[in-house]
Chains A and B, each alone.
Chain A
Amino acid sequence: MCGIAGIVRADLEAPVPLDALRRMAGALRHRGPDGWGMARTPGAGLVSTRLAIFDVPGGWQPMRGERGSLLVYNGEVYNHPELRAQLGSELATTSDTEVVLRLLERDGLRALDRLNGQFAFAWWEPAARRLTLVRDRFGVRPLHWAVLPDGGIVFGSEAKALFASGEVVAEPDLAGIDETFTLWGPRAPRSAFRGVAQLPPGGLLVWEDGAIVARRTWWEPDYDPDVFAARAAGTAPAARVATAGVPNAEELPDLLTDAVRLRLRADVPVGTYLSGGLDSSLITALAQQASDHELRTFSVAFHDARYDERAFQQQVAQALGTRHHVVEIGPREIADGFRDAVAHAETPLIRTAPVPLMLLARATREHGITVVATGEGADELYWGYDLFKETAVRELHTCDPERATALLDQLYPYLDVPAERRGPAWARSFFEAGSADDPLFSHQPRIAATGIVRAFYRPEVAHALASNGGDPLARLRADLPPAFGRWSALERAAYLELTTLLAPNLLAAQGDRVAMAHGVEGRFPFLDHRVFEHSVRLPPERKLGPGLCEKAELRALAARLLPAEVAARTKQPYRAPEVAPFFGDQAPGWVEERLEARALDDVGLFDPVRVEGLLRRCRTGKASGFREGMALVGILSTQVWHERFCGVGTGAGAEWPAESTEPRILLDAAERITSQ
Chain B
Amino acid sequence: MGDTEVGTGLRAALRAYIEEAFLYLHPDVELADDDEFLALGVIDSLGFVELVEEVQTRYGIAVDALEITEENFGSLDALVAFVERRRGE
Contacts and interface: CB of A to CB of B under 8 A. Distances in A.
Interface in A262-289: none
B2 interface: no
14 contacts: A423-B52, A423-B63, A424-B66, A425-B49, A425-B73, A428-B48, A429-B44, A429-B45, A432-B45, A448-B44, A448-B46, A612-B24, A617-B20, A617-B21
Interface string B49-81: 110110010000001011011000100000000
A422 B68 CA distance: 9
A143 B27 CA distance: 42
A616 B21 CA distance: 10
Given A423-B65, A424-B66, A455 B25 contact: yes
Interface centre among A424, A425, A429, A614 (most CB of B within 10 A): A425
B contact face: mostly helix, strand, loop, or mixed: helix
Given A423-B65, A426-B49, A610 B73 contact: no
Contacts of B56: 421
A610 B68 contact: no
A148 interface: no
Contacts of A422: 49
A150 interface: no
B53 A609 contact: no
A284 to B, nearest CB: 36
Nearest to A455: B25
A485 interface: no
A616 B20 contact: yes
B24 A610 contact: yes
A613 B68 contact: no
B25 A429 contact: no
A159 B20 CA distance: 40
B67 to A, nearest CB: 8
Contacts of B46: 429, 448-449, 627
B27 A610 contact: yes
B25 A424 contact: no
Contact of A609 (B27, B68, B73): B27
A71 B44 CA distance: 53
Contacts of A88: none
A410 to B, nearest CB: 15
A359 B45 CA distance: 37
B69 A424 contact: yes
Interface in A398-452: 417, 420-426, 428-429, 432-433, 448-449, 452
B21 A622 contact: yes
Interface in B11-31: 20-21, 23-25, 27
Given A429-B46, A609-B24, A617-B20, 17 more contacts: A417-B53, A421-B56, A423-B65, A424-B65, A424-B66, A424-B68, A425-B73, A429-B49, A452-B25, A456-B25, A610-B25, A613-B23, A613-B24, A614-B24, A616-B24, A617-B21, A625-B50
A423 B20 contact: no
Contacts of A423: 52, 63, 65, 68
A428 B45 contact: yes
A612 B20 CA distance: 11
Interface of B: 20-21, 23-25, 27, 44-46, 48-50, 52-53, 56, 63, 65-66, 68-69, 73
B48 to A, nearest CB: 5
Contacts of B45: 425, 428-429, 432-433, 448
A154 to B, nearest CB: 40
Interface residues of A, number: 28
A424 B49 CA distance: 9
Contacts, number: 59
A610 B25 CA distance: 5
A617 B52 CA distance: 18
Contacts of B25: 452, 455-456, 610, 613
Contacts of A456: 25
A612 B56 CA distance: 27
Nearest to A626: B46
Interface string A613-640: 1101100001001010000000000000
B65 A420 contact: yes
A463 to B, nearest CB: 14
Contacts of A455: 25
Contacts of B24: 609-610, 612-614, 616-617
A425 B68 contact: yes
Contacts of B63: 421, 423
Nearest to A613: B24
Nearest to B54: A622
A420 B68 CA distance: 12
A622 B65 CA distance: 25
A420 B56 CA distance: 13
A540 to B, nearest CB: 29
A226 to B, nearest CB: 41
A101 B58 CA distance: 67
Contact of A622 (B20, B27, B68): B20
Contacts of B23: 613
B73 to A, nearest CB: 7
Contacts of B68: 423-425
B48 A425 contact: yes
A334 B23 CA distance: 30
A627 B69 CA distance: 22
A616 B27 CA distance: 15
Interface in A294-316: none
A237 B72 CA distance: 63
Interface centre among A423, A426, A456 (most CB of B within 10 A): A423
A438 to B, nearest CB: 16
Contacts of B65: 420, 423-424
B76 to A, nearest CB: 17
A422 B49 CA distance: 7
A426 B50 CA distance: 9
Nearest to B62: A421
A282 to B, nearest CB: 34
Contacts of A607: 27
A429 B23 CA distance: 20
A123 to B, nearest CB: 48
B34 to A, nearest CB: 20
Nearest to A417: B53
A417 B53 CA distance: 8
Nearest to B44: A448
Interface centre among B27, B53, B65, B66 (most CB of A within 10 A): B65
B44 to A, nearest CB: 7
Contacts of A433: 45
A448 B27 CA distance: 21
B55 to A, nearest CB: 11
Contacts of A609: 24, 27
B11 to A, nearest CB: 20
A610 to B, nearest CB: 6
